[in-house]
Structure 1
Amino acid sequence: MGISVRDIDEGWVAAWEGDIPRPQQSVSKLWVAIGVMDAVDRQRLSLTDPVTVTRADLTVFHQPIRTLVGKTGYKTTIADLLHGAMARSDNTASDVLLWRIGGPAIINRLLGDKGIGGVRFGPGERQLQARTAGLEWRPEWAGGWGFLQARAAMTSEARNKALRRYLAAPLDGASANGVTLGLSLLAQGKLLSPQSTASLLTLMRSSKTGPLRLKSGLRPGWTLAHKTGTGQDLGNLSTGYNDVGLLVAPDGHRYALAVMIASTRQPIPVRMRLMGNVTRAVIASTSR
Structure 2
Amino acid sequence: MTGSRIGWLTAGFGTLALAACGPGTRPGTSASAPAATYVGAPAYVVSLPVPKVMRRPRIEAPRALVEQVDALVRGFPGVAGIAIRAVDDGWTVESGGRRRMPQQSVSKLWVAMTVLDQRDSGRLKLDDPVTLYPSDLTLFHQPIAALVKPSGYQTTVGALLTRALTHSDNTANDRLLTLVGGPAAVRSFIERKQLGDIRFGPGERLLQSRTAGLTWQQSYSLGNGFEIARSRLAPEVRAAALEAYIADPPDGAAPLAIADALARLARGELLSETSTRFLLTTMGSTVTGRARLKAALPPGWSLEHKTGTGQELGRRNAGFNDVGLLTAPDGRRYAIAVMIGDTMRPMRDRQLLIQAAAGALTGHRADPRAIASTEDDAPGS
Shorter-chain TM-score above 0.5: yes
* Structure 2 Cα separation of the partners of residues 46 and 270 of structure 1: 42
**Which structure: greater strand fraction?**
1
- For 1:104, give the aligned amino acid: P
Equivalent pairs: percent with the same residue?
51
Q: Residue in 2 aligned with 1:161?
A: 240
TM-score using structure 2 length: 0.73
Partner of 2:183: 104
Tell me which amino acid in the other structure corresponds to 2:294: K
Instruction: Say which SS state the counterpart of residue 124 (structure 2) adopts.
Output: coil
Match of 1:248 among 309, 327, 330: 327
Match of 1:232 in 2: 311
Residues 31-63 of structure 1: CA distance to partner in whole angstroms, max 9, x if unpaired? Answer: 111011111111101110111100000001000
- 1:84 pairs with 2:192: no
Q: 2:268 corresponds to which residue?
A: 189
Partner of 2:122 in structure 1?
A: 43
Aligned to 2:336: 257
* SS of aligned partner of 2:88: coil
Residue equivalent to 1:59 = 138
2:360 matched to 1:281?
yes
User: Is the contact between residue 66 and residue 143 of structure 1 (CA under 8 Å) also seen in structure 2?
Assistant: no
For 1:225 and 1:252, the matched residues in 2 are separated by 14
Counterpart residue number, 2:226: 147
Deviation at 1:201, TM superposition (A): 0.3
Gaps of 5+ in 2: 1-79, 365-381
Are the equivalent residues in 2 in contact too, given 1:59–1:144 (CA < 8 A)? no
Counterpart residue identity of residue 256, structure 1: A
Q: Relative contact order (C-alpha < 8 Å, sep 6+): which is higher? A: 1
Larger radius of gyration: 2
Task: From 192, 195, 202, give the equivalent of 2:281.
Answer: 202
Q: Secondary structure at the match of 2:355?
A: helix
- The answer for the alignment partner of 2:87 in structure 1 is 8
SS in 2 for 1:75: strand
**Quick check: 1:222–1:248 contact (8 Å CA) kept in 2?**
yes
- Structure 1 residue 10: deviation in Å? 1.6
RMSD: 1.2
Name the TM-score, length of structure 1 as normaliser.
Answer: 0.96
The answer for unaligned runs of 5 or more in structure 1 is none
After TM superposition, list the pairs within 5 Å mapping 1:215-230 onto structure 2.
215-230=294-309
Q: Which residue of 2 aligns with 1:170?
A: 249
Q: What is the CA distance between 1:261 and its match in structure 2?
A: 0.4
SS of the residue aligned with 1:120? coil
Q: Shift of the alpha carbon at 1:238?
A: 1.5
Q: CA deviation at 1:144?
A: 5.9
Give 2:350's aligned residue. Answer: 271
Question: Which position in structure 2 is the counterpart of 1:212?
Answer: 291
Amino acid of the structure 1 residue aligned with 2:215: E
Change (3 A) 1:247 1:82: same
Cα separation, 1, equivalents of 2:128 and 2:295 = 36
Distance 1:188 1:144, change over 3 A: farther
